[in-house]
Structure 1
Protein backbone atom coordinates (compact mmCIF):
# COMPACT_ATOMS: atom_id res chain seq x y z
CA UNK A 1 0.00 0.00 0.00
CA UNK A 2 1.16 3.54 -0.75
CA UNK A 3 1.82 6.13 1.97
CA UNK A 4 -1.45 8.00 1.28
CA UNK A 5 -3.44 4.79 1.69
CA UNK A 6 -1.64 3.99 4.94
CA UNK A 7 -2.34 7.51 6.16
CA UNK A 8 -6.06 7.19 5.37
CA UNK A 9 -6.23 3.73 6.97
CA UNK A 10 -4.51 4.69 10.23
CA UNK A 11 -5.31 8.40 10.64
CA UNK A 12 -1.60 9.25 10.84
CA UNK A 13 -0.42 12.08 8.61
CA UNK A 14 1.94 11.37 5.74
CA UNK A 15 4.53 13.51 7.52
CA UNK A 16 4.17 11.41 10.70
CA UNK A 17 4.57 8.20 8.71
CA UNK A 18 7.79 9.51 7.17
CA UNK A 19 8.99 10.46 10.66
CA UNK A 20 8.19 6.98 12.02
CA UNK A 21 10.13 5.48 9.14
CA UNK A 22 13.11 7.79 9.74
CA UNK A 23 13.10 6.70 13.41
CA UNK A 24 13.10 3.04 12.35
CA UNK A 25 9.63 2.35 13.76
CA UNK A 26 8.18 1.25 10.42
CA UNK A 27 9.75 0.16 7.14
CA UNK A 28 8.79 0.35 3.52
CA UNK A 29 9.97 -0.99 0.22
CA UNK A 30 10.60 1.36 -2.71
CA UNK A 31 8.88 0.88 -6.03
CA UNK A 32 10.94 1.29 -9.23
CA UNK A 33 9.49 4.81 -9.44
CA UNK A 34 10.79 5.58 -5.92
CA UNK A 35 7.42 5.48 -4.12
CA UNK A 36 7.14 3.96 -0.67
CA UNK A 37 5.24 0.69 -0.55
CA UNK A 38 4.10 -0.60 2.87
CA UNK A 39 3.08 -4.05 3.98
CA UNK A 40 -0.46 -4.32 5.35
CA UNK A 41 1.10 -5.29 8.71
CA UNK A 42 2.58 -1.79 9.01
CA UNK A 43 -0.93 -0.47 9.71
CA UNK A 44 -0.91 -2.41 13.01
CA UNK A 45 2.50 -0.97 13.87
CA UNK A 46 1.27 2.57 13.15
CA UNK A 47 -1.80 2.03 15.36
CA UNK A 48 0.47 0.79 18.16
CA UNK A 49 2.82 3.75 17.71
CA UNK A 50 -0.12 6.17 17.97
CA UNK A 51 -1.38 4.38 21.10
CA UNK A 52 2.01 4.73 22.77
CA UNK A 53 2.33 8.34 21.69
CA UNK A 54 -1.09 8.96 23.29
CA UNK A 55 0.32 7.45 26.50
CA UNK A 56 3.00 10.13 26.41
CA UNK A 57 5.90 7.97 25.29
CA UNK A 58 8.52 9.34 22.93
CA UNK A 59 9.35 7.68 19.63
CA UNK A 60 12.69 6.61 21.14
CA UNK A 61 10.88 4.91 24.04
CA UNK A 62 8.44 3.30 21.61
CA UNK A 63 11.35 1.97 19.52
CA UNK A 64 12.55 0.07 22.58
CA UNK A 65 9.31 -1.88 22.98
CA UNK A 66 7.61 -1.91 19.56
CA UNK A 67 9.23 -5.05 18.17
CA UNK A 68 8.32 -7.01 21.28
CA UNK A 69 4.72 -5.81 21.53
CA UNK A 70 4.08 -6.45 17.83
CA UNK A 71 5.27 -10.07 18.26
CA UNK A 72 3.80 -10.71 21.73
CA UNK A 73 1.25 -9.23 24.07
CA UNK A 74 2.39 -6.32 26.24
CA UNK A 75 2.18 -8.56 29.30
CA UNK A 76 5.00 -10.71 27.91
CA UNK A 77 7.37 -7.85 27.15
CA UNK A 78 9.67 -7.27 30.11
CA UNK A 79 10.48 -3.71 28.97
CA UNK A 80 6.88 -2.44 29.12
CA UNK A 81 6.12 -2.29 32.86
CA UNK A 82 9.37 -0.51 33.84
CA UNK A 83 8.80 1.98 31.01
CA UNK A 84 5.23 2.62 32.18
CA UNK A 85 6.42 3.02 35.80
CA UNK A 86 9.04 5.52 34.69
CA UNK A 87 6.49 7.47 32.64
CA UNK A 88 4.03 7.45 35.54
CA UNK A 89 6.68 8.80 37.93
CA UNK A 90 7.49 11.55 35.41
CA UNK A 91 3.80 12.47 35.18
CA UNK A 92 3.49 12.56 38.99
CA UNK A 93 6.44 14.97 39.16
CA UNK A 94 4.86 17.17 36.49
CA UNK A 95 1.51 17.14 38.31
CA UNK A 96 3.28 18.22 41.52
CA UNK A 97 5.03 21.04 39.70
CA UNK A 98 1.80 22.16 38.00
CA UNK A 99 -0.05 22.05 41.32
CA UNK A 100 2.58 24.31 42.90
CA UNK A 101 2.33 26.71 39.96
CA UNK A 102 -1.47 26.72 40.20
CA UNK A 103 -1.33 27.44 43.95
CA UNK A 104 1.18 30.26 43.40
CA UNK A 105 -1.02 31.81 40.71
CA UNK A 106 -4.08 31.67 42.96
CA UNK A 107 -2.13 33.24 45.81
CA UNK A 108 -0.90 36.07 43.57
CA UNK A 109 -4.39 36.68 42.19
CA UNK A 110 -5.82 36.88 45.72
CA UNK A 111 -3.11 39.36 46.74
CA UNK A 112 -3.74 41.50 43.67
CA UNK A 113 -7.50 41.51 44.24
CA UNK A 114 -7.04 42.43 47.91
CA UNK A 115 -4.71 45.29 46.96
CA UNK A 116 -7.18 46.53 44.33
CA UNK A 117 -10.06 46.40 46.82
CA UNK A 118 -8.05 48.31 49.43
CA UNK A 119 -7.14 51.01 46.88
CA UNK A 120 -10.72 51.71 45.83
CA UNK A 121 -12.58 54.46 47.73
CA UNK A 122 -15.13 53.09 50.12
CA UNK A 123 -18.73 53.89 49.24
CA UNK A 124 -20.64 55.82 51.90
CA UNK A 125 -23.51 53.86 53.43
CA UNK A 126 -26.96 55.15 52.45
CA UNK A 127 -28.52 57.62 54.88
CA UNK A 128 -31.18 56.15 57.10
CA UNK A 129 -34.42 58.14 57.57
CA UNK A 130 -34.47 60.00 60.86
CA UNK A 131 -37.13 59.39 63.46
CA UNK A 132 -37.51 63.11 64.25
CA UNK A 133 -40.72 64.76 62.99
CA UNK A 134 -40.15 66.78 59.90
CA UNK A 135 -41.09 70.41 59.73
CA UNK A 136 -43.09 69.90 56.57
CA UNK A 137 -46.66 68.67 57.08
CA UNK A 138 -47.42 65.10 56.08
CA UNK A 139 -49.99 64.22 53.39
CA UNK A 140 -52.58 63.45 56.08
CA UNK A 141 -52.09 66.84 57.68
CA UNK A 142 -52.44 68.52 54.27
CA UNK A 143 -55.67 66.62 53.62
CA UNK A 144 -57.09 67.74 56.94
CA UNK A 145 -56.34 71.37 56.10
CA UNK A 146 -58.36 71.15 52.92
CA UNK A 147 -57.90 73.27 49.86
CA UNK A 148 -57.24 76.50 51.68
CA UNK A 149 -60.89 77.56 52.19
CA UNK A 150 -61.37 77.93 55.93
CA UNK A 151 -65.15 77.80 55.87
CA UNK A 152 -67.15 75.30 57.93
CA UNK A 153 -67.49 71.81 56.48
CA UNK A 154 -70.12 69.20 56.82
CA UNK A 155 -69.00 66.16 58.75
CA UNK A 156 -70.79 63.82 56.35
CA UNK A 157 -69.64 64.84 52.94
CA UNK A 158 -66.77 67.24 53.65
CA UNK A 159 -68.57 69.97 51.70
CA UNK A 160 -68.57 73.58 52.58
CA UNK A 161 -71.73 74.76 54.30
Structure 2
Protein backbone atom coordinates (compact mmCIF):
# COMPACT_ATOMS: atom_id res chain seq x y z
CA UNK A 1 0.00 0.00 0.00
CA UNK A 2 1.22 3.48 -0.79
CA UNK A 3 1.68 6.21 1.79
CA UNK A 4 -1.57 7.98 0.88
CA UNK A 5 -3.50 4.74 1.33
CA UNK A 6 -1.82 4.11 4.69
CA UNK A 7 -2.70 7.66 5.73
CA UNK A 8 -6.36 7.13 4.83
CA UNK A 9 -6.49 3.72 6.49
CA UNK A 10 -5.09 5.03 9.78
CA UNK A 11 -6.16 8.68 9.86
CA UNK A 12 -2.52 9.68 10.34
CA UNK A 13 -1.00 12.41 8.18
CA UNK A 14 1.55 11.59 5.51
CA UNK A 15 4.00 13.86 7.30
CA UNK A 16 3.62 11.82 10.52
CA UNK A 17 4.05 8.56 8.61
CA UNK A 18 7.29 9.83 7.10
CA UNK A 19 8.43 10.83 10.61
CA UNK A 20 7.60 7.37 11.98
CA UNK A 21 9.66 5.87 9.18
CA UNK A 22 12.58 8.22 9.94
CA UNK A 23 12.37 7.09 13.58
CA UNK A 24 12.47 3.43 12.53
CA UNK A 25 8.96 2.69 13.82
CA UNK A 26 7.63 1.60 10.42
CA UNK A 27 9.37 0.65 7.21
CA UNK A 28 8.61 0.58 3.52
CA UNK A 29 10.06 -0.76 0.34
CA UNK A 30 10.75 1.59 -2.55
CA UNK A 31 8.99 0.76 -5.79
CA UNK A 32 10.68 1.25 -9.17
CA UNK A 33 9.09 4.69 -9.46
CA UNK A 34 10.48 5.71 -6.05
CA UNK A 35 7.16 5.57 -4.20
CA UNK A 36 7.02 4.02 -0.77
CA UNK A 37 5.23 0.69 -0.55
CA UNK A 38 4.03 -0.34 2.91
CA UNK A 39 3.03 -3.83 3.99
CA UNK A 40 -0.63 -4.17 5.01
CA UNK A 41 0.66 -4.90 8.54
CA UNK A 42 1.86 -1.27 8.67
CA UNK A 43 -1.67 -0.02 9.37
CA UNK A 44 -1.77 -2.04 12.58
CA UNK A 45 1.69 -0.76 13.50
CA UNK A 46 0.62 2.85 12.98
CA UNK A 47 -2.51 2.38 15.09
CA UNK A 48 -0.37 0.84 17.83
CA UNK A 49 2.05 3.78 17.63
CA UNK A 50 -0.88 6.20 17.92
CA UNK A 51 -2.13 4.36 21.00
CA UNK A 52 1.22 4.68 22.76
CA UNK A 53 1.54 8.33 21.73
CA UNK A 54 -1.89 8.91 23.33
CA UNK A 55 -0.39 7.65 26.61
CA UNK A 56 2.14 10.48 26.37
CA UNK A 57 5.07 8.31 25.33
CA UNK A 58 7.70 9.57 22.90
CA UNK A 59 8.60 7.88 19.64
CA UNK A 60 11.98 7.05 21.17
CA UNK A 61 10.28 5.25 24.06
CA UNK A 62 7.91 3.46 21.70
CA UNK A 63 10.81 2.32 19.52
CA UNK A 64 12.24 0.47 22.53
CA UNK A 65 9.32 -1.95 22.75
CA UNK A 66 7.25 -1.67 19.55
CA UNK A 67 8.64 -4.83 17.96
CA UNK A 68 7.85 -6.80 21.11
CA UNK A 69 4.24 -5.59 21.41
CA UNK A 70 3.65 -6.22 17.72
CA UNK A 71 4.74 -9.85 18.07
CA UNK A 72 3.65 -10.64 21.66
CA UNK A 73 1.09 -9.55 24.20
CA UNK A 74 2.06 -6.36 25.98
CA UNK A 75 2.17 -8.24 29.30
CA UNK A 76 5.09 -10.33 28.00
CA UNK A 77 7.24 -7.37 26.94
CA UNK A 78 9.70 -6.66 29.75
CA UNK A 79 10.82 -3.41 28.07
CA UNK A 80 7.46 -1.75 28.59
CA UNK A 81 7.11 -1.77 32.39
CA UNK A 82 10.04 0.60 33.12
CA UNK A 83 8.67 3.01 30.49
CA UNK A 84 5.18 2.91 32.02
CA UNK A 85 6.51 3.40 35.54
CA UNK A 86 8.67 6.33 34.46
CA UNK A 87 5.78 7.97 32.61
CA UNK A 88 3.44 7.45 35.57
CA UNK A 89 5.99 9.10 37.90
CA UNK A 90 6.34 12.02 35.48
CA UNK A 91 2.55 12.48 35.22
CA UNK A 92 2.16 12.29 39.01
CA UNK A 93 4.78 15.00 39.45
CA UNK A 94 3.02 17.18 36.87
CA UNK A 95 -0.30 16.69 38.69
CA UNK A 96 1.29 17.70 42.00
CA UNK A 97 2.73 20.82 40.39
CA UNK A 98 -0.59 21.73 38.80
CA UNK A 99 -2.42 21.19 42.10
CA UNK A 100 0.02 23.54 43.83
CA UNK A 101 -0.47 26.16 41.11
CA UNK A 102 -4.25 25.75 41.39
CA UNK A 103 -4.13 26.20 45.17
CA UNK A 104 -1.97 29.32 44.79
CA UNK A 105 -4.37 30.81 42.24
CA UNK A 106 -7.38 30.05 44.43
CA UNK A 107 -5.62 31.68 47.37
CA UNK A 108 -4.81 34.80 45.31
CA UNK A 109 -8.39 35.07 44.06
CA UNK A 110 -9.72 34.69 47.61
CA UNK A 111 -7.28 37.31 48.88
CA UNK A 112 -8.25 39.80 46.17
CA UNK A 113 -11.97 39.26 46.77
CA UNK A 114 -11.50 39.68 50.54
CA UNK A 115 -9.90 43.09 49.94
CA UNK A 116 -12.35 44.11 47.22
CA UNK A 117 -15.68 42.23 47.58
CA UNK A 118 -17.28 44.26 44.78
CA UNK A 119 -14.97 42.62 42.27
CA UNK A 120 -16.92 39.71 40.89
CA UNK A 121 -16.21 37.47 38.00
CA UNK A 122 -18.58 36.28 35.35
CA UNK A 123 -18.51 32.67 34.17
CA UNK A 124 -15.70 33.45 31.68
CA UNK A 125 -13.44 34.75 34.44
CA UNK A 126 -13.78 38.37 33.28
CA UNK A 127 -14.49 41.19 35.64
CA UNK A 128 -18.05 42.44 35.62
CA UNK A 129 -18.77 46.12 36.04
CA UNK A 130 -20.81 46.55 39.21
CA UNK A 131 -21.45 50.29 38.69
Query: By how many angstroms is 1:117 displaced?
Result: 2.3
Alignment match, 1:23: 23
Distance 1:19 1:62 in 2: 13
Task: Give the root-mean-square deviation of aligned CA atoms.
Answer: 1.4
* 1:74 equivalenced with 2:46 (yes/no): no
> What is the TM-score with the length of structure 2 in the denominator?
0.86
Q: Which residue of 2 aligns with 1:86?
A: 86
Q: Distance in 2 between matches of 1:40 and 1:118?
A: 65
Q: Within 2, Cα distance between the matches of 1:89 and 1:7?
A: 33
Q: Deviations over 1:97-149 (max 9, x none)?
A: 00001101111111112222289xxxxxxxxxxxxxxxxxxxxxxxxxxxxxx
Aligned to 1:54: 54
Question: Stretches of 4+ moved more than 2 A in 1?
Answer: none
Larger-gyration structure (1/2): 1
Mapped to 2, the partners of 1:38 and 1:118 lie a distance apart of 65
Structure 2: which 5+ residue stretches go unaligned? 120-131
Offset at residue 52 of structure 1 (A)? 0.2
Give 1 or 2: higher helix fraction.
Answer: 2
Instruction: Quote how far apart the aligned CAs of 1:85 are.
Output: 1.1
SS of the residue 1:78 aligns to: coil
Aligned length, in residue pairs = 119
With the length of structure 1 as denominator, give the TM-score of the two structures.
0.71
Structure 1 spans left out of the alignment, 5+ residues = 120-161
> What is the deviation of 1:9?
0.6
Distance 1:35 1:118 in 2: 67
